[in-house]
Structure 1
Amino acid sequence: MKLKVLGCSGGIGGAEGRTTAFLADDDILIDCGTGAGDLELEELAAVDHIFVTHSHMDHIAAIPLIVDAVGEMRGVPITVYAIPEVLRILRAHVFNWLIWPDFTAIPDRRRPFLRLQPLAVGEPVKLGTRVITPLPALHSVPAVAYCLDGGDGQLVYSGDTTYSPELIAAINACPRLHHLIIEAAFPDEQHGLALASRHMSPAMVAGLLNELTVNPRVYISHIKPGQRERVMAQIADAGGRLRAEVLHQGQVIEF
């Protein structure tokens, strides 16, 4: 598989200020923040599947706009996959005819532009030779991480999460893990804020990495604007067996 980073910032502003969205191959989006809006119209129309980690705006902002832009160009609906709690939030607060039209009923319920597909943690979704499995995560709203398996290797993307023994166990259970994308939203000076909002600080990232028995290449995402150098320096200072590097918008990871 090939994963292109469309956005990986914890906020907007500047040339690399695109929020979280990853394009897997040409037809799958993993989260759908503002970074997805940089795709050309034809590229958007080629997206068949959107896997959502959780319902926060920086991870779903482009979904309504994409469906509106390309719905009539496609012969089949775009499928949004998420755990049931997240789908309920999308139905109630986004596709509700008040914030945005309900595209699960447009042009009609037999031929909609959008389909919402519930997931269960630990149950894989097979898309040809590719397998995407929701993993447990712990955030301020219901959330999951994802393991992407292309057959030859695996990539785990944490989504938004705080320290989670369940997630650590799930990562360690990935036998062909080549890459790990983990969030670190706040520097250690804001450790209390990270705990309150159920995000990660550098010290928490270091603790998680020290408990891994697998050997992936580690990338740090979702850093709040203006904090990149501080967060990465603190992660480097923590040492440990696994070294981490900052994830960049536009980066392509193959596995």
Structure 2
Amino acid sequence: MRTIFQETLLGPVDLSSLAIDFPADVPRDAWPDFVKEGRDLGDPRYKEEPLKVSDLIDFKVFNDDFRVELDGVVAIEVNPIAESFRVTEGGSVISEFPLSVQMGSASPAESEKLISTLFVPPEFGVTFVGTSHGFDPAGKTSGFILWMGKRGVIVDPPPYTGDVLMRMGIAPRLIDSIILSHCHADHDAGSFQKILRSSNVRLITTPTILGSFLRKYAAISGFSEEFISNLFRFVPVKIGAPIRVHGGDITFQYSLHTIPCISFQAEYAGKTIAFSGDTCYNPELLAEMEANGTIGASRREQLMNFNFGPTSFCMRPACRRSTHRFHCLRSSTRARGRGCM
């Protein structure tokens, strides 16, 4: 459980292998210092001492009677007969909920009805499968399909993307790759689900983010990291070096976020689609971070100049938090449904 929260909230503990994410000619001052950057973006109370999981969560363990006391008054116990958790206060039951829940899915009738209108992918473009954020209980988290050469690369797929694709008439076989931007739950949960439901899918991300993903989902699922890694083909990202995908090029950078997170620009047939990833674009803050030694001059320049070239289409994830602020000088969108260029 600690591993899950560590990777989700704070990122990797060991960053000694960060060099593998970069080509040899990238200057060291262009590398992110994730610990320092996370500190400057996080709670001011933890500026001096790094934030730890134990600062956020007090773990309580059930005793042999499957009961745990929270504060001497409130307790949680397992009711084996009703197969539920029971919350008591002063000996009185104040709440009870099942040990497990069944998640919903699209009904076959709904899927069959809508799949009759098959989607024809564009040569180069995007289709949104989610346009909300992780704090919205009713919406789908941000995720989209990047079409290149009429083949799909899905970026941070929301949970149950397979059902969404069926309702949109998009054949899953058209999507053969996943880009995983980072390991916050509103971005990686659907990736794990897609990996489990697909065969021979490619996972595109940096080795650092992949390591975090494997540790997290090994802890969640009980599968070994080796077992999970055998479910997909890993395509390692080298920051700043383009990757050839379906006749186009995708170039990645590390964005400014509380855990390792990538942005990218995709180029195809003379057009460009840019994705900021979760980031904080704030020139004043970047200048301050360079002045106090959190980032180097090359890192600041890269963060300042993301996507300020001749970009055809620019996107950023939907979020309400200040650490995700981004302003695209060319164009921006939160469009819904199908999109193409």
Q: CA deviation at 1:160?
A: 0.5
> Contact conserved, 1:20 with 1:35, CA < 8 A, in 2?
no
Gaps of 5+ in 1: 72-76, 187-192, 220-246
CA distance in 1, matches of 2:145, 2:313: 15
Letter in 1 for 2:272: Q
Find the residue that maps to 1:139 and give its secondary structure: coil
Partner of 1:80: 203
Kindly tell me: are residues 97 and 184 of structure 1, through their superposed partners in 2, closer, same or farther at Cα, counting changes over 3 Å? closer
**Aligned partner (choices 24, 33, 39) of residue 165 of structure 2:** 39
Alpha-carbon distance, 1:9 to partner: 0.7
Q: In the alignment, residue 92 of structure 1 is paired with which amino acid?
A: R
**Which residue among 178, 188, 195 is the counterpart of 2:312?**
178
Give the match for residue 7 of structure 1.
130
SS at match of 1:253: coil
Amino acid in the other structure paired with 1:78: V
Are 1:133 and 2:246 an aligned pair?
A: no
Whole-angstrom CA distance in 2 between matches of 1:137 and 1:66 = 24
Q: 1:100 to 1:30 in 2, by over 3 A?
A: farther
Instruction: Supply the AA of the counterpart residue of 1:153.
Output: K
TM-score by length of 2: 0.51
Secondary structure at the counterpart of residue 180 of structure 1: strand
1: distance between equivalents of 2:131 and 2:318? 11
TM superposition shift of 1:88: 0.6
Closer/same/farther in 2, CA of residues 69 and 136 from structure 1, 3 Å limit: closer
Q: Output one character per residue of 1:62-119: Cα deviation in whole Å (capped at 9) or x when no partner.
A: 1222222232xxxxx211111222101111111x27526458647xx8xx43122321
Identify which range, 52-61 or 62-71, moves more after superposition: 62-71
- State percent identity of aligned pairs: 20
Q: Is the 8 A contact 1:103 1:113 kept in 2?
A: no
Consecutive unaligned residues in structure 2, runs of 5 or more: 1-123, 283-299
Q: Is the contact between residue 7 and residue 35 of structure 1 (CA under 8 Å) also seen in structure 2? A: no
Deviation at 1:180, TM superposition (A): 1.2
Equivalent position to 1:162, from 254, 259, 280: 280
CA gap of 1:10–1:19, structure 2 versus 1, over 3 A, is: same
TM-score (norm 1): 0.66
8 Å CA contact 1:6, 1:35 repeated in 2: no
* Amino acid corresponding to residue 252 of structure 1 in structure 2: G
Deviation of the 1:46 alpha carbon: 3.3
Q: Specify whether residues 100 and 130 from structure 1 end up closer, same or farther in structure 2 by C-alpha distance, changes over 3 A only.
A: farther
Q: Is the 8 A contact 1:18 1:35 kept in 2?
A: no
- What is the alpha-carbon distance in structure 2 between the residues aligned to residue 144 and residue 28 of structure 1? 15
Match of 2:184 among 56, 62, 87: 56
SS at match of 2:203: strand
CA contact (8 A) 2:214 2:225 kept: no
Given that 2:132 and 2:319 are in contact with CA atoms closer than 8 Å, whether structure 1 keeps it comes out as no
Over alpha carbons, which structure has the higher Rg? 2
CA contact (8 A) 1:104 1:113 kept: no
Aligned to 1:66: 194
Question: Per-residue deviation at 1:3?
Answer: 0.6
**Residues 4 and 22, structure 1, Cα contact 8 Å, conserved in 2:** yes
What secondary structure does 2:196 align onto?
helix
- Counterparts of 1:110-129 in structure 2 under 5 Å? 112-129=230-247
Instruction: Give the AA of the match of 2:205.
Output: A
Verify the 8 A CA contact 1:132 1:148 in the aligned structure 2. yes
User: Would you say the 8 A contact 2:271–2:311 is kept in 1?
Assistant: yes
Give matches, 1:198-237, under 5 Å.
198-200=323-325, 205=326, 208-209=327-328, 212=329, 216-219=330-333
Q: Determine if contact 1:19/1:35 at 8 Å carries over to the other structure.
A: no
The alignment yields a C-alpha RMSD, in angstroms, of 2.6
> Corresponding residue for 1:150?
268
| Contact 2:239-2:251 within 8 A present in 1 as well | yes
User: CA, structure 1 residues 98+5, in 2 after alignment: closer, same or farther (shift >3 Å)?
Assistant: closer
CA distance in 2, matches of 1:103, 1:39: 28
- 2: distance between equivalents of 1:136 and 1:113? 26
Question: Is the aligned partner of 1:248 residue 2:338?
Answer: no
Structure 1 counterpart of 2:143, from 10, 18, 21? 21
